[in-house]
A and B are shown apart, each in its own frame.
Chain A
Amino acid sequence: MEYPPLDQIRESVMGDVITMDDLTNEEIIKLLDNARKMLPVAKGDIHLPLLQGKVLANMFFENSTRTRMSFETAMKRLGGEVLNFTSAGSSVSKGETLFDTMQMIDGYADVAVIRHPRQGAAQYSADAVSIPILNAGDGAGNHPTQTLLDLFTIREAHAEFKDLNVVLVGDLRYGRTAHSLSNALARFGVNLTLVAPESLKMPNEIVSDLKSLGGIVTETDQLYEQIKDSDVIYMTRIQKERFPDEDEYSKVSEIYTLTESDLIGSKENMIIMHPLPRVNEIHPSVDSTKHAMYFEQAFNGIPTRMALLCKSLGIDISREVL
């Protein structure tokens, strides 16, 4: 086919967040500070309609529970409106291109959140429209808004990032959450241990990026010997839907599981995180321990996404909220 000229690509918009590279360390810290200010608003204790009159398009071409709902709650608690799009039953099932779908949204909303099964779909959307695009997961690519809430959770628990021992566990090959989070953690001077079976190791280009960012990275397939020295254990689900065949999936599906007894001898303030949904990675016996942070982590999606929506729409929270 003939490809069109470059001038069809829109200028990049300031508020786009496609990968963590779109935010400087200073911007990340400011977002986390602002997210903390948003906590009472996120809980519904204070009414603060900073985004009144604004419309968010939630463009979910792939399933989501927490990400879609926390963006929706964040927008609504700040007085904004939300359009929810799912590809089933839309023109996408009739063969509409992503480009055409996004043209429509460009006219309907002020900011769009997109999740798509194909890698690169968020950057492609950002090139197609003039409103800010927030990447909520593109295939096995990136998931930067999850990273922001993960960073918020770690910072609230440990105050500083530098020199923390963070262990990322599970599907590091297809896990977009792990891809984005490792990038940010490397930039903040964290000691990263990547725990995965051979078939699910972190892609080479990402490990090489982490090292060039100055990250201290250790790769292993052994989880249990890491627990004692960890400050954060970040479990991820082995994603059945990303495996080309079921046999390969069943070989590794239950390779890492944490139970309460595994945590004996761990640091007092060690936290266990998980982007959820979990399957067998964390036994329910862990839920009642002081280490379990994953449900609080899921809540933290609301204040961090509030801070991000405000940033993308040009609202300076530090001026609005003292």
Chain B
Amino acid sequence: MSDAEMRRVTAICNGTVIDHIPGGQALQVLRMLRLESGISNPISLVMNVPSDKLGRKDVLKIEDRELVQEELDRLAIIASEASVAIIRNYGVAEKRQVGLSDELVNIIKCSFSNCITQNQREPLPQRLRVVSRSPVEIRCSYCGKIQDMAEIHERII
């Protein structure tokens, strides 16, 4: 991020900065990370700022919270190009890579109404495989149905 962009929101002391989220997707990212309600951490959100890489991008700053790998896996589903910096004492302490695994286990629930996994009492984990990364295409490992990416945030487990 450039200084000008940094000044759009206050620098944070400790927490996580997610940069290079595709423009307009920040609210979905919050939902994917289950940060949209029920937490008290301050969150700053910048949407649709110009970006050389993406044209338009969103930026999220989450105070006093360091995202873990499992959360980064979720993030990758809708923002695989995002970069994540862990901030400690106003400095970048660590950069973490967002990576989309080949298989998503217990992250997304299959949307197909006749999939065997729709029976809530069946105990095996939800498994979906990533068949394409650009654009992201995800299929249920059981029924094989392609998942609708526009609604994927509603299927988060």
Determine if A99 is an interface residue (Cβ-Cβ < 8 Å): yes
Determine if B69 is an interface residue (Cβ-Cβ < 8 Å): no
Cβ contacts under 8 Å, B143 to chain A: 118-120, 138-139, 141
Residue from A1, A9, A120 in contact with B115 in the complex, judged by beta carbons closer than 8 Å:
A120
Instruction: Return B1 CB to nearest CB of chain A, in Å.
Output: 36
Determine if B7 is an interface residue (Cβ-Cβ < 8 Å): no
Determine if B90 is an interface residue (Cβ-Cβ < 8 Å): no
Residue from B116, B121, B146 in contact with A205 in the complex, judged by beta carbons closer than 8 Å:
B146
Determine if A65 is an interface residue (Cβ-Cβ < 8 Å): no
> Do B106 and A119 touch across chains, with their CB atoms under 8 A apart?
no
Q: State whether A119 and B125 are in contact (beta carbons under 8 Å apart), knowing that A6-B105, A124-B116 are contacts in the complex.
A: no
> Do A140 and B114 touch across chains, with their CB atoms under 8 A apart?
yes
Instruction: Report the contact-size class of chain A (Cβ under 8 Å from the partner).
Output: 20 to 34
Residue from B110, B112, B119, B125 in contact with A97 in the complex, judged by beta carbons closer than 8 Å:
B119
B107-143 near A? 1/0 per residue, CB < 8 Å: 0001010111111111111110000000000011111
Determine if A127 is an interface residue (Cβ-Cβ < 8 Å): yes
Cβ contacts under 8 Å, A139 to chain B: 114, 143
Instruction: Return B110 CB to nearest CB of chain A, in Å.
Output: 8
Instruction: Report the contact-size class of chain B (Cβ under 8 Å from the partner).
Output: 20 to 34
Determine if B145 is an interface residue (Cβ-Cβ < 8 Å): yes
Determine if B11 is an interface residue (Cβ-Cβ < 8 Å): no
Compute how far the CA of A6 lies from the CA of B142 in the bound complex, rounded to whole angstroms: 14
Cβ contacts under 8 Å, B42 to chain A: none
Determine if B157 is an interface residue (Cβ-Cβ < 8 Å): yes
Determine if A257 is an interface residue (Cβ-Cβ < 8 Å): no
Determine if B144 is an interface residue (Cβ-Cβ < 8 Å): yes
Compute how far the CA of A195 lies from the CA of B8 in the bound complex, rounded to whole angstroms: 58
Compute how far the CA of A211 lies from the CA of B109 in the bound complex, rounded to whole angstroms: 28
> Do A4 and B123 touch across chains, with their CB atoms under 8 A apart?
yes
Cβ contacts under 8 Å, A4 to chain B: 123-125
Cβ contacts under 8 Å, B106 to chain A: 3, 6
Q: State whether A99 and B125 are in contact (beta carbons under 8 Å apart), knowing that A118-B118, A121-B116, A141-B143 are contacts in the complex.
A: no
Compute how far the CA of A186 lies from the CA of B115 in the bound complex, rounded to whole angstroms: 26
**Residues of A that sit less than 8 Å from B by CB:** 1, 3-6, 8-9, 19, 95, 97-99, 116-121, 123-124, 127-128, 138-142, 204-205
- Pairs across A and B, CB under 8 Å, 29 listed: A1-B120, A3-B157, A6-B105, A6-B106, A6-B125, A8-B125, A9-B125, A19-B144, A95-B121, A97-B121, A97-B122, A97-B123, A98-B122, A99-B124, A118-B115, A118-B119, A119-B114, A119-B115, A119-B143, A120-B110, A120-B117, A120-B141, A120-B143, A127-B124, A128-B124, A139-B143, A140-B114, A205-B139, A205-B146
